[in-house]
Amino acid sequence: MRNFWEKSKNKGRPIYALAPMAGYTDSAFRRICKKFGADVVYSEMASATALVYDPAKTLEMLKFDPVERPYVVQLFGAKPEHFAAAARIITEKIGPDGIDINFGCPVKKVAKQGAGAILMDNMPLAREIVKSVIDSTDLPVSIKTRTRVNNTDILEFLDFVRDLDIAALMIHGRTLKQGFSGSIDTAIIKKARDHFDGVIIANGGVGVAGLVAPEDKRDNAGSHAAGLLARTGADGIGIARGALGRPWIFKAVRTGQDIARSPRAVFKVVLEHARLTEEHKGGRGIVEMRGQLCAYAAGLSGARDLRRRLVGVKTVKDIEEVFRGYEGLRVPDNRF
C-alpha cells in the first residue's frame, strides 16, 4: 500500500519528525512544530488497554487538528488483543495518518505492565502485537525501537518481523541499558537498512548538548542532524528533547539557520503555543505546560528569574504579564 511514509520519502529530502514525548507532544505543541517545518508529528504514547476499558480520556488526549497531518498515534501496551481493539478505535474515532507501536520506552511503570522496550526482548509477543495492529487497521503501521534490549539487537528483531507490512521504523540509537544518555550507535542504524524494507528514521541527540559527540553544543542542531543522517543513511531523523522550548529547531535543521533567537522572537512563539494550549485544554493546559514554558526560558538572559515566575502562571494573561516585566518587552499580539 502506498502510504504517507513512502510519499514523504519520495520527496527526495530527509523526513524531519517530531518524536513522541509523553507529557509534551500534545496537539498545541505538534501544531507549533508543524509550523516550523516538522514533516511528521507523533502523539504522546497512549495506552492500548486504557482505550479498551476507559477510552474517553485517552481519546480526548489524541484529538488533533487537520493542520497537523501527517499525524501518527503511538500506542503502548502488552496484549495483542488490546492493541487490535485500540487500533480499530483509533482508526474509527481519531483517523490519524498512521499508528505506531512503542518498543522503546524504558519507564518502570510501563515495563511493569510488560510494555515498551522490554517487548523487543520478547520477539514472539512483539510480532503478535505488530500483526494484530496491521490486521485491525488500513492505516500504515510503524514501530519505534531501541538498538538493543537485553539479548536482542535491532537487526535480529527486524529479521523476526521482516515479512510483516511495517511501513516505518524509528530507531532511538541507544540500548535500553543506556536510557537517555550516552552515544548514539549510528553504525547499527545504518545496518538496519539491510534488514528492513520501509522508511527508517534515526533518533537521538539532535539539539541535545553533548549527546551526539561530547564536544557538541546544544546549538549545533544543524550539524547534529546532518551528521546523524550521513552516518546512518536514514531516510529522516526524529527529534524529541531538542524541540522542547525551541520548536524552531525544525527550521534550523532544514535551513542550517542558527538556532538562537531573540527574546522577542521566543515570546512570540511562547504566546502562540500558550494560546493554542488554552484553546485545546482550557485553564488546566497552562498549568500543565509550565515545564515547556521553562524550557523556552532556557538560553535567555535572566532565565532563572524568568523560570521562577513562569512556574506560577495559570493563564495566558499571566504569561503576558511575566514577559511584560522582562527587559521591558512589548507583548506581541499578532500571531506568527
Ligand X SMILES: Cc1cc2nc3c(=O)[nH]c(=O)nc-3n(C[C@H](O)[C@H](O)[C@H](O)COP(=O)(O)O)c2cc1C
Tell me the β-bridge partners of 200: 169
- Give me the least distance between CB of 204 and ligand X, in Å please: 5
The answer to whether residue 35 forms part of the interface with ligand X (CB under 6 A) is no
**140 labeled part of a ligand binding site:** no
- Give me the least distance between CB of 104 and ligand X, in Å please: 5
The catalytically annotated residue of 45, 105, 118, 176 is: 105
Compose the 234-263 pattern: x for residues touching ligand X by CB under 6 A, - for all others: -----xxxx---------------------
The answer to whether residue 180 forms part of the interface with ligand X (CB under 6 A) is yes
**312 labeled part of a ligand binding site:** no
Residue from 96, 140, 204, 285 binding ligand X (CB under 6 A): 204
The answer to whether residue 149 forms part of the interface with ligand X (CB under 6 A) is no
Number of residues located near ligand X, criterion CB under 6 A:
24
Residue 197 has a CB neighbour count (10 Å cut-off) of 12
The answer to whether residue 206 forms part of the interface with ligand X (CB under 6 A) is yes
71-76 and 98-103: which strand pairing?
parallel
The answer to whether residue 41 forms part of the interface with ligand X (CB under 6 A) is no
Q: How far is CA 336 from CA 32, 39, 85, 268, in A?
A: 10, 19, 40, 7
The answer to whether residue 289 forms part of the interface with ligand X (CB under 6 A) is no
**106 labeled part of a ligand binding site:** no
Residue 115 has a CB neighbour count (10 Å cut-off) of 26
Q: Greatest CA span in the chain, whole angstroms? A: 61
Nearer to ligand X, 167 or 322 (CB): 167
Cα gap 205→173, rounded to integer Å: 9
* Residue 105 is among the residues annotated as catalytic for this protein: yes
**Minimal CA–CA distance to 205: which of 224, 179, 219?**
224
What lies within 8 Å, CB to CB, of 53 at 6+ separation is none
Query: b vs e for 294-320, b when ≥16 Cβ sit within 10 Å of the residue's Cβ?
Result: bbbbebbeeeeebbebbeebeebeebb
98-103 and 141-145: which strand pairing?
parallel
- Give me the least distance between CB of 142 and ligand X, in Å please: 11
Residue from 22, 59, 226, 287 binding ligand X (CB under 6 A): 22
Residue from 8, 74, 137, 277 binding ligand X (CB under 6 A): 74
Cell readout for 290 is 509550565
**Minimal CA–CA distance to 15: which of 258, 250, 255, 252?**
250
The answer to whether residue 222 forms part of the interface with ligand X (CB under 6 A) is no
Residue from 9, 30, 131, 144 binding ligand X (CB under 6 A): 144
Is the link from the previous residue into 247 a cis peptide, with omega within 30 of 0? no
Residue from 30, 31, 35, 172 binding ligand X (CB under 6 A): 172
**273 labeled part of a ligand binding site:** no
Nearer to ligand X, 115 or 158 (CB): 115
**74 labeled part of a ligand binding site:** yes
**156 — phi, psi (to 5°)?**
-60, -45
- Give me the least distance between CB of 46 and ligand X, in Å please: 9
**21 labeled part of a ligand binding site:** yes
Q: How far is CA 153 from the centre of its chain?
A: 22
- Give me the least distance between CB of 302 and ligand X, in Å please: 25
Binding residues (CB under 6 A) for ligand X: these are 19-24, 44-45, 74, 102, 104-105, 144, 172, 180, 203-206, 208, 239-242
Residues that are catalytic: 105
- Please state the residue numbers annotated as binding site for FMN: 20-22, 74, 144, 172, 203-205, 240-241
